[in-house]
Chain A
């Protein structure tokens, strides 16, 4: 199970990276072509589709990597036990919101399934599905974060920051 999950994370990063490169290459190319008076009607639509997917996938990866964090200026002055309870509450609310986003997003995508792009023969709901996908994936990440806090509260783990993944603290430092 763990192996599959790790494989999935790697795959998501790879897809997101390739999508990102395509996005750059594609917009660059269409600008060059336009300069030579060669216009493509579908270029903007395809770029926007790629942007939605790379953005939401990137957000999912950043959330998993502990890069999307809140401000703890108030909570960090509280006793540790209370801090954990608040953190748990935050994750629970986020989880609920993600589940709702997933359900309503899926319904929206379903209702849009027949409409296609004007310029391309692909369904418009592909854009909405990018959000549905990210919400779905973030649900799992959030459950893991909750699990980590619960383990901390039960005293079964010594990690100091339940938000960050195992080697993420280091990565975060490099990222900035």
Chain B
């Protein structure tokens, strides 16, 4: 176990890409164990890519990229501006609402945070928001994307833990909306204290006519998550196939409804997608031997006896697990966290009688939060890089938002019904 974890930490600290870190650490363990044939390690890398459930990963990445270039993003942005224009901290509120709307078409929090910072960042700077605040708002609110279906985190959790992806998708809906409410309240509060962007007196009240006019255009994107869950529910497509439908949907809307999708844009989205997919699939594939080695050294057993030793109250144990995931998320890539820790934690929560969907949604949220927390977080560095903001400033300004998110999660731990209500309604009770 020492060799495995030591090489993991050492390679990570040296700045090695995470896919190679877990891959090589896993290989090294196989090398030192004469009982484990090395061909087996290579075979595990290949086999890890051979899961039908993982098809959803490339498809949803592609669908998200296509929707971005086919005019769906700009229409959703219009809607977000419309409903927030009379609010305090209006432009920051646009970001919160936008993340929620985008959540229904995109599965990646990092991509969403980057897109919003690029679009809203310059405008917010002009109005007088501080850089740290801009990054904090755009980055932390993209967590809503990770909860509202489709979400890559939920897909990977569902695949690794053998939990119904349709149920997980449905389970993410209400927590996503609650998070939106929490973050809008936080934005309103903090921008009032900082006197950012007060509502303009001349801003006209939102009229039904305006809303209908906008909805005519943006309804296609808003309908998407609903269609997805309904389609899976009635067996029109399996969760993995739903990704292929998403791609075709995006092409049809972009080409025939919005008429903005050109061959050039399509090609660009395609290249971006297979590269993104390659980067993620490499991590997934390379995690095969490492995860096997973790079981071999009996880390799951050690960890579960450690956690079960703390208490026997299911809620407290869940809070402990989420806290553990929050800490690992600060240092380790979110995909790696899903791949390595789902098989350890899920059996534990199941034995406590917790609904896997309930835990999955909370785990997906807290693990994805890891890409936004310092010291190591992909979304955080991307966002801060875009408008050139020091990480310390971001860290300071993001505290109220992080607090709101953690508070929401803690409340949800005690209210499983809020998460499982829609899955039980749509798919029937277990």
Contacts and interface: CB of A to CB of B under 8 A. Distances in A.
Contacts, number: 181
Interface string B9-28: 00111111111110110010
Contacts of A87: 15
B42 interface: yes
User: Which label, helix, strand, loop or mixed, suits the secondary structure of the B interface?
Assistant: helix
Best-buried of A25, A56, A104 by chain B (most CB within 10 Å)? A104
Interface in A31-76: 31, 35, 44, 47-48, 51-52, 54-63, 65, 67-75
A69 B275 CA distance: 13
Best-buried of B15, B19, B59, B244 by chain A (most CB within 10 Å)? B15
A13 B271 contact: yes
A51 B58 contact: yes
B375 interface: yes
B285 interface: yes
B114 interface: yes
Contacts of B14: 70, 75, 86, 89-90
A101 B15 CA distance: 21
A27 interface: yes
B152 interface: no
Interface residues of A, number: 59
Interface in B260-287: 267-268, 270-279, 281-282, 285
A150 interface: no
Interface string B222-249: 0000000000000011101101110110
A68 B59 CA distance: 20
A122 interface: no
A131 interface: yes
Interface stretch (A1-9, A16-24, A154-162): A16-24
Interface residues of B, number: 62
Contacts of B79: none
A65 B276 CA distance: 11
B45 interface: yes
Contacts of A108: 39, 42-43, 46
A100 B39 CA distance: 10
A21 B263 CA distance: 13
Given A61-B278, A93-B11, A97-B24, 4 more contacts: A20-B270, A51-B55, A127-B46, A131-B285
Interface of A: 13, 16-17, 20-21, 23-25, 27-28, 30-31, 35, 44, 47-48, 51-52, 54-63, 65, 67-75, 86-87, 89-90, 93-94, 97, 100-101, 104-105, 107-108, 111, 127-128, 130-131, 174-176
Q: State the 3 A-B residue pairs at the shortest beta-carbon distance, nearest first.
A: A58-B278, A55-B281, A59-B278
6 contacts: A24-B62, A56-B282, A70-B14, A90-B16, A94-B17, A108-B43
